[in-house]
Amino acid sequence: MHLSRLTDYIHYLFCPDKPFLRQLHHILGFYPRKVSVYREALMHRSVNHYHPHDKKKDNERLEYLGDAVIETVVSDILYHHFPSKKEGFLTSMRSKIVQRSSLNRIAKEIGLVELIQSNHINRTHNSFISGNAFEALVGAIYLDRGYTYCYRFFEERIMGKHVDISKVAKEDDNFKSKLIEWSQKMQYEVVFELVDENTIGTNSPTFRTRVCIEGIKLGTGFGYTKKESQQLAAKEAMHHIRKKTELYKKAAEQHAARTSSTPEPENPTNTESVESPMPMDQD
């Protein structure tokens, strides 16, 4: 047995919290040494609301650290996996892998959700708890065992099992870009509006965006960044367009009424060159 693994196992034998270590070993593939930092990683800030005067820790600082480590590890893996790809492709791939919905899914699939301590006080933040805990877990691995173990954890336990790189490379999930392209082609007026912005805790801003087509609200998105909220709003709008729902039909009626009252250009020799009547990107 490798000396490091033997040392880890001896540490496990003398640890008073063996059930927790066994659960972590199942997720990580190794026995942690600094158990307290993993406890902290799985402690949501809502637990402290019941004991506001106690100096209890939560996972927000580890979440901050883990977020940076994940970006570095995923960048490292992608850089070596795609030796001939350019920066734009690698950046897009990394964004898909580390986006909130992906981290939430991974956290659930590896069984991390069952270990999170949370009182679910902040309902608007609950959809991010699992992804936040996953980031904090990686932060804990970094503090406990360093970068090499973080890389090994992703390479052996996440990539392939929970992230199919080949499949991700083929995905096109830029819904905002698709919506803008469609609107310019069809000459529909589309507006992205930031309707709500909140700061939860010290490092968790949230944004709510709605997208209106011809003045009709077809989508709402809620995310950690403006870009994420816009993408989710655009995704919902694209669903209405593809399914030709009642909301889309209302937008189509508004479009028909607007364009029928708009004077024809004097020399419409090339209709394909006519641009959308308003700028689309409102980042």
Per residue in 98-117, pLDDT (tens digit) is 988 899 999 999 999 999 98
**Boundaries of domain holding 21:** 3-170
In this prediction, residue 169 carries a pLDDT of 85
Is 135 an active-site residue?
Answer: yes
Residue 202: which pLDDT band, with cuts at 50, 70 and 90?
A: very low
DSSP state at residue 211:
E
Question: Are 188 and 150 members of one domain?
Answer: no
Average pLDDT over the chain, rounded to whole?
83
- Shared domain for 36 and 166, answered yes or no, is yes
Highest mean pLDDT pick, 199-203, 235-239, 267-271: 235-239
Count: domains in the chain:
2
* Closest among 112, 109, 104, 103 to 20, alpha carbons compared: 112
Question: Per the domain annotation, does 145 fall within a domain?
Answer: yes
**Lowest-confidence segment of 109-123, 135-149, 175-189, 256-270 by average pLDDT:** 256-270
The model's pTM is: 0.66
Phi, psi (5° rounding) for residue 220? -135, 135
- Which of the residues 135, 144, 214, 236 is marked catalytic? 135
Task: Name the percent of the chain lying above pLDDT 70.
Answer: 78
Residues 187 and 258 in one domain: yes
Helices (H), 146-219: 147-153, 165-170, 175-186
Query: Has residue 1 got a pLDDT over 70?
Result: no
Marked catalytic residue, from 8, 40, 67, 236: 67
Residues 144 and 186 in one domain: no
Here the CATH number for the domain that contains residue 58 is: 1.10.1520.10
Residue 159 maps to a domain = yes
Q: For residue 161, give both structure tokens.
A: 């099992």
Strand-pairing partners, residue 194, are: 209
Residue that terminates a domain, selected from 170, 185, 219? 170
Instruction: Determine the angle formed by the axes of helices 246-260 and 226-243, rounding to 10 degrees.
Output: 90
pLDDT digits (tens, 9 = 90+) for 159-176: 989 999 988 888 777 889
Please check whether residues 8 and 143 belong to one and the same domain.
Answer: yes
Give me the sheet containing 190-200, strands edge to edge: 190-200, 204-213, 216-223
Say if residue 236 is in the same domain as residue 109.
no
